Structure 1
Amino acid sequence: MLMPALAGALRCQRDSYLKVLQTKVVSCEKKKGFYAVEFEDTVLFPEGGGQPFDKGVILREKDDSETPVEVTDVQRDGLHAIHSLISPLEPGETVTMQVDWARRLDHMQQHTGQHLLSAVLDKKDVATVGWNLGVQMNYVELDRKLSTEEVQETQLDVNQAIAQALPITVDISGHDEEKGAMRVVTIGEMDRNPCCGTHLAKTSEIGSILLLHQVPNKGNSRLFFMAGNRVTDYAKSSHDRIRSVNAALSCQTDDTLSKIEQLQLRQRALLSQLKTAQQELAVQEAGKIAAILESKEVYVLYKPDYDMEYLRFVEKQLPDLQGTAILLCGQGPSGGAIIIAGKAVDKYAGLVKDTFKDAKGGGKGRWQGKVVRYNSGEVERALELNK
């Protein structure tokens, strides 16, 4: 009878650098949308300890086409590593599994980087109370916020420890019926911590760690960071974005901030001028509406390129109306706003809600609402009231 290796003593945990493993299928159970497969052993790490699961492929010896079966997820079920596959395997058959090495190496750089970062912070009496390995950025959750000087000092200290190429070892100290093999990760003489994850062999393989920003969280502080190849990728992408900004602003990097400040000042001036012009236009629009409503029961004003603020400008200029004004703005899937003011607000509020399927609003004496989206033909039907 085939017996699977248990969490804590999986081959991927005993040898983090193993990329290919020949093993046998213990079980294969059809689930909703996938097949849950357990192997005698695995080179694919099941999610745990803050580290995401590995991805990889399975090659079947009996498959002449050598088409790999994709492994989309690996999770722990108690002490068992359950692999999610897109195609079934037969219990007892021998297969070869290959890990997505780029993904694994990235996870090891981030995870080992977190251990080292937390060790450095611990010596500064700053405790790590949690952490997260993200797709681009990670964070360590600390029991307090670091000062700018502390962040700079920590950045220097952690990268000095990386340069020292400190050895990283994993010791198995026993076995827990619920957690599996008890593994302790040691970084030189700096740190000893229990961990189920896969780790690098020495700190120099982390490459570098970049500390980013902090975000408060329920009395704690999340210090964001990235490690390894992510640092160089981030530097390159950031450089490319800065170059694009330079081109758009027609300036050099050193002049970018001052150029943006100039544009902001100019924008504020233009917005002020626009607001004044809109108010002047609103006075004219209101006068036109008031004149029309002296002889008509209702009038619809539709301004597709304006917003609720403009509609309020118009409404403020409307005296005691003889009829009812329906003010609309916005267009298409972006929706817009509606104000109804005048004599027969309730009557036309009902008509508006019947006309505009996605209109919502209310009020007494005046009706104000929004349109989530304008559907085809709705505005045209409303404007027929002007005929």
Structure 2
Amino acid sequence: MTEALFRADPYLRAAEARVTALTEEGGIILDRTIFYPAGGGQPGDGGVLRWKGGEIEIATTVKADADDIVLVPAEPAALPGVGAVLNQELDWDRRHRHMRVHTALHLLSVVIPLPVTGGAITAEKGRLDFDMPEAPEDRDALEQTLNDLIACDFAVTEEWITEAELDARPGLVKTLSVAPPRGTGTVRLVRIGAGENTADLQPCGGTHVARTAEIGRVRLGKVEKKGKQNRRVHLHLGR
């Protein structure tokens, strides 16, 4: 099982690791990694691996069986051997933008308090699909409310509850299309705010900024009709 260093510290940009396996497709499995694997609408991380006598660019990162995480090279190249010790360096600018978008989307689900039917994240923008029969009447007002929440500079923290506790609080789950990961007995929650000033609390396995002000100002884009009941709301990062 790959130790997910990004879970404990999403701001970790470099770390040493050891190669534990190579996949038939040319992927690299490490004993520990700072690279987030694609999931929950958030893309997999990229970056560079460097070892004595070689280096390789990583295009993306994916999940594998048995809780392993596979780093996928950008193109065929010489791979480090099993047992090799190497240094992994994250494409931090891209990851940080993913974190900003992801946290902003959590707040978008607060501003639009409707069931979420899908979502996606890129380094420039994100979107959520809502069970929303009619488009919002005042998109500018929604955008201002969202930016007001961001400016509150809420702390973003994680906590864990048991699967039984989550079953007893079904309102925590906002997404209709993606169920929280199960099987370990506990579920990770991401909290924005604290105590009575909690703005949002929901299951999530992604990476987030430490405080909402780090997101910066955002802009709401077009609202698209996606089926009879669904509307897709686009969100764009500022600088």
TM superposition score normalised by structure 2:
0.82
Structure 1 pair 224–107 and aligned structure 2 pair: CA distance change class (3 A): same
Report the Cα offset of residue 120 of structure 1: 2.1
Larger radius of gyration: 1
Q: Structure 1 residue aligned with 2:104, among 109, 113, 117?
A: 113
Q: Structure 1 residue aligned with 2:137, among 148, 152, 162?
A: 148
Q: Structure 2 residue aligned with 1:68, among 55, 68, 75?
A: 55
- After alignment, is 71-80 or 51-60 more displaced? 71-80
Higher relative contact order (CA 8 A, sep 6+): 2
Write the letter of the residue equivalent to 2:137. Answer: T
What corresponds to 1:185 in structure 2? 190
Structure 1 pair 180–132 and aligned structure 2 pair: CA distance change class (3 A): farther
SS in 1 for 2:33: coil
What corresponds to 1:260 in structure 2? none
The reply to whether residue 24 of structure 1 matches residue 34 of structure 2 is no
What corresponds to 1:168 in structure 2? 156
What corresponds to 1:128 in structure 2? 116
What corresponds to 1:315 in structure 2? none
Does the 8 Å contact 2:99/2:209 carry over to 1?
yes
Structure 1 pair 135–15 and aligned structure 2 pair: CA distance change class (3 A): closer
Map 1:167-246 → 2, pairs under 5 A: 167-173=155-161, 178=183, 182-188=187-193, 189-219=198-228, 220-227=230-237, 231-232=238-239
5+ residue gaps, structure 2, are 164-180
What corresponds to 1:370 in structure 2? none
Report the Cα offset of residue 4 of structure 1: 2.9
The reply to whether residue 56 of structure 1 matches residue 47 of structure 2 is yes
- For the aligned residues, what is the CA RMSD? 2.0
What corresponds to 1:99 in structure 2? 90
Report the Cα offset of residue 148 of structure 1: 3.3
SS in 2 for 1:148: coil
Does the 8 Å contact 2:98/2:122 carry over to 1?
no
> Kindly, what percent of the aligned residue pairs are identical?
26
Structure 1 pair 14–59 and aligned structure 2 pair: CA distance change class (3 A): same
Cα separation, 2, equivalents of 1:29 and 1:143: 40
SS in 2 for 1:141: strand
TM superposition score normalised by structure 1:
0.52
Q: Which has the higher strand share?
A: 2
Structure 1 pair 180–22 and aligned structure 2 pair: CA distance change class (3 A): farther
Cα separation, 2, equivalents of 1:127 and 1:134: 22
Alignment deviations for residues 237-268 of structure 1 (CA, whole Å, 9 cap, x no partner) = xxxxxxxxxxxxxxxxxxxxxxxxxxxxxxxx
Structure 1 pair 197–209 and aligned structure 2 pair: CA distance change class (3 A): same
Report the Cα offset of residue 38 of structure 1: 0.9
Cα separation, 2, equivalents of 1:90 and 1:22: 15
5+ residue gaps, structure 1, are 233-387
Structure 1 pair 179–152 and aligned structure 2 pair: CA distance change class (3 A): farther
